[in-house]
Chains A and B, each alone.
Chain A
Amino acid sequence: AQSVTQLGSHVSVSEGALVLLRCNYSSSVPPYLFWYVQYPNQGLQLLLKYTSAATLVKGINGFEAEFKKSETSFHLTKPSAHMSDAAEYFCAVSRGGSYIPTFGRGTSLIVHP
């Protein structure tokens, strides 16, 4: 079985501060990992994905994530938060034998001026 845990349902940062959203996965085989972003009243869109080509993955809007097998983690970071980054962020995992990815419960990013 595979599962995803996102630590913290809400993360609050000041504009310009570092953004760190945490994601840990449990999988018996190397997984494929994704981060999606959901802006208010919209569907989810892909931010970045890990497919084993490189452990540090760069995505859109200045976000990046690092795959750490020893920690079973795939945390999302951004050096400097913008007001426009305020959204819901979802981590997802898929692996062989599973047609549909499993999503975490989401983390709401709040950015203060």
Chain B
Amino acid sequence: NAGVTQTPKFQVLKTGQSMTLQCAQDMNHEYMSWYRQDPGMGLRLIHYSVGAGITDQGEVPNGYNVSRSTTEDFPLRLLSAAPSQTSVYFCATRRGDGISTEAFFGQGTRLTVV
């Protein structure tokens, strides 16, 4: 099993460009989420999903869109990139059968907006 796969691993965007960060999982987990990691800020939740067709906002949702049409995929869209979105992005999944279950993380996407 591949687990949680994020693509691309690295990306450089110009201000105003759009792009989609991909996240795919093969563990059949109900819960999926996107975090951004910035120095001194830890992990901040952007958006999350508790199942196909259901998404909700996290702590820092502005500038990002998500959708969840299948259990396996949870893409994160940046419609108009800004330098403040320079960060490392992590996708995580979790089983939905209890709050004691741990999260599984992808390897991250390092995004630079110039």
User: Other than the known A42-B107, A94-B100, A100-B31, what 15 A-B pairs have Cβ atoms closer than 8 Å?
Assistant: A9-B40, A34-B102, A34-B103, A43-B90, A43-B106, A45-B105, A49-B100, A49-B102, A90-B43, A95-B99, A99-B31, A99-B99, A100-B45, A101-B103, A105-B42
Within the assembled complex, what's the spacing in Å between the Cα atoms of A9 and B41? 10
Interface residue count for B (Cβ, 8 Å)? 24
The 10 closest A-B pairs by CB, nearest first: A43-B105, A105-B42, A51-B100, A103-B43, A44-B105, A32-B100, A46-B102, A94-B99, A106-B42, A43-B107
Determine the chain B residues whose CB is within 8 A of the CB of A70 once the complex forms: none
Interface residue count for A (Cβ, 8 Å)? 25
The answer to whether A104 touches B100, judged by C-beta atoms less than 8 angstroms apart, is no
Within the assembled complex, what's the spacing in Å between the Cα atoms of A90 and B50? 23
Report the minimal beta-carbon distance from B26 to chain A, rounded to whole angstroms. 16
Chain B CB within 8 A of A96 CB: yes
A-B contact pairs, 27 of them (CB 8 A): A9-B40, A32-B100, A34-B103, A36-B103, A36-B105, A43-B4, A43-B90, A43-B108, A44-B43, A44-B103, A44-B105, A45-B105, A46-B102, A49-B100, A49-B102, A90-B43, A94-B99, A96-B99, A98-B99, A99-B31, A99-B48, A99-B50, A99-B96, A100-B31, A100-B58, A103-B42, A104-B42
